[in-house]
């Protein structure tokens, strides 16, 4: 996984876009509330970097991406959150479309898509006959011409939820 998932950008005094990693000090003009929200997101990003369990890391990055999208929607004009790996994508000479991840494990699929610059949303399903934690479908499909940072939905096989068990005894009449 990349070290930084999001960067905070705004227009500088000279009209050029200025970008910082989330955990960097922001310009004083950003405002206290905005600065606090961005730093909170940066704190979550730092936690993700320290987690060693890859499945937990995947879930934390999904939470962070959702929080970043919510924050991005309410930022004042001139401020934007951008995926940090979009710059890496811009350097690529050839584009082969969205990577195909069907059949991979959840963690491998997540890491493959993130490494290519895509956002990932996991949809858990239990009706498939596939092995647990295997990606059974994706949207957009493999090879689709959706450039990063498009969010790719992946369907992952999980166990069905436990049935509700009531404490009441039920008698059946004949």
Last residue of a domain, one of 52, 84, 116: 84
Q: What's the pLDDT at 152?
A: 92
pTM greater than 0.75: no
The range of the structural domain enclosing residue 76 comes to 1-84
Distances (CA, A) of 169 to 159, 163, 166: 27, 16, 8
The answer to whether residue 137 is domain-embedded is yes
80 and 10 in one domain?
yes
74 and 116 in one domain?
no
Last residue of a domain, one of 84, 116, 151: 84
Residues of the chain with pLDDT under 70: 1-5, 23-31, 84-95, 166-172, 174
Q: What's the pLDDT at 2?
A: 42
7 beta partners: 21, 82
101 and 47 in one domain?
no
Residue 132 tokens, joined? 């647990």
Q: How many separate domains does the chain show?
A: 2
- The rounded distance, in Å, linking the Cα atoms of 45 and 9 is 17
Q: What's the pLDDT at 85?
A: 58
Q: What's the pLDDT at 162?
A: 72
Q: What's the pLDDT at 25?
A: 60
111 and 75 in one domain?
no
CA proximity to 59, closest of 47, 71, 73: 47
The answer to whether residue 169 is domain-embedded is no
Helix (H, G, I), strand (E, B), or coil: what is residue 124? strand
Q: What single DSSP character describes residue 24?
A: S
Q: What's the pLDDT at 170?
A: 65
């Amino acid at each position: 996984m990349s070290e930084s998932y999001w960067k905070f950008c705004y227009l500088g005094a000279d009209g050029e876009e200025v970008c910082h990693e989330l955990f960097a000090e922001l310009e004083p003009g950003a405002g206290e509330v905005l600065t606090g929200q961005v730093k909170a997101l940066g704190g979550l990003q730092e936690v993700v970097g320290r987690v060693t369990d890859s499945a937990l890391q995947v879930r934390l990055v999904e939470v962070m991406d959702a929080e970043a999208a919510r924050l991005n929607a309410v930022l004042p004009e001139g401020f934007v959150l951008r995926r940090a790996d979009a710059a890496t994508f811009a350097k690529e000479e050839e584009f082969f479309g969205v990577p195909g991840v069907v059949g991979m494990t959840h963690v491998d699929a997540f890491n493959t898509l993130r490494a290519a610059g895509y956002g990932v949303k996991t949809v858990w399903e239990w009706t498939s006959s596939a092995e647990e934690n295997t990606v059974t479908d994706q949207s957009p499909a493999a090879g689709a011409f959706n450039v990063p940072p498009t969010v790719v939905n992946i369907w992952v096989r999980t166990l069905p939820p436990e049935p509700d068990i009531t404490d009441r005894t039920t008698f059946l009449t004949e």
